[in-house]
Amino acid sequence: MLEYLDISPDVKKALDENKPVVALESTIISHGMAYPENIESAKRCEEEIRKEGAIPATIAIIGGKMKVGLSEDELNYFGTTKNIPKASRRDIAMILANKMDGATTVATTMLIASLAGIKVFATGGIGGVHRKAQESFDISADLMELANTNVAVVCAGAKSILDIGLTLEYLETHGVPVIGYKTDDFPAFYTRKSGFSVDYNGESAEIIAKAIKIKEDLGLNGGMVIANPIPSEYAMDEDFINGIINKAVDDAESQGIRGKNITPFILSAIYELTEGKSLYANKHLVYNNACVGAKIAKELCKL
């Protein structure tokens, strides 16, 4: 495994000493924001985790190595290099074989975090079942990874560009618990509510950590979704953002945008239609998730 996996010294030391570590993805750096905002936001996420007394482990594939914990030079390289491909589970072997770079998605970050022994991962939002999936079969690999990989994912729910109802049904079928962080409502990324409920309200980081530990003790494979609503001061008006999302989805359909190109197209359209407000909300919900992820990781280490 050491031939493919490169864990930074500070992350390895923390893991060896049972100190809290929180994984972060790299797709948000290479595909979510433009330079230099992408690097600034990545560093801010790491700072939020450190403030809570945990160690950040940003994950990426660089030169055919799965990197767990990026140095400042590696972070700058990743944030300034153009056209780094997204790396999902299906892509890992070929990217490593060709010694390429890869931006890890939620699914791949979960997988690599698990290989490194990291149990908590903070991101923006999970992928899910796309609208009209009964026709397209477009279901994110994130959901299958959640069904199989033992990592708890702190997120602001799922974007309402997806079919949230079907996404939750899929998770239920595959035995993935959806726990709200101090909420009964499943959030919809830009908004605090989606109209759907979580399975349980995790009223504290301590009780969520206990649930993660018990799940592990019982040998119940698969991850856990920790749904953490965007802070109210950064949340967007539900009618406003949903109207924009519906227009973007319709535009994608009318232009024949399909497969892996749908989400980038829609998010770009949302950014333009909201005049950048969506990105502002996106950044702050990720910072909030990083903070909550660190709190949960700290409580997990106590157990």
Which whole-number Å values give the CA distances from 262 to 127, 257, 269, 275, 290, in the listed order?
12, 6, 11, 20, 26
Instruction: Please tell me the predicted confidence (pLDDT) of residue 285.
Output: 97
> How far apart, in whole angstroms, are the C-alpha atoms of residue 234 and residue 231?
6
Which listed residue (25, 46, 48, 74) is catalytic?
A: 25
The H or E element spanning position 98 is: none
What residues of the chain score a pLDDT lower than 70?
A: 260
Q: Domain count of the chain?
A: 1
Instruction: Please tell me the predicted confidence (pLDDT) of residue 80.
Output: 95
Instruction: Please tell me the predicted confidence (pLDDT) of residue 116.
Output: 98
Instruction: Please tell me the predicted confidence (pLDDT) of residue 218.
Output: 97
10 Å Cβ neighbour count for 98? 8
25 counts as catalytic: yes
**HEC string of 191-248?**
ECCCCCECCEEECCHHHHHHHHHHHHHCCCCCCEEEECCCCCCCCCCHHHHHHHHHHH
Closest CA to 103 of 130, 67, 143: 67
CATH number at residue 255: 3.40.1790.10
Which listed residue (67, 119, 159, 295) is catalytic?
A: 159
Structure tokens at 218: 């019982």
Residue span of the structural domain in which 187 resides: 5-302
159 counts as catalytic: yes
Closest CA to 87 of 113, 60, 67: 60
Instruction: Please tell me the predicted confidence (pLDDT) of residue 257.
Output: 84
Instruction: Please tell me the predicted confidence (pLDDT) of residue 50.
Output: 98
Instruction: Please tell me the predicted confidence (pLDDT) of residue 209.
Output: 98
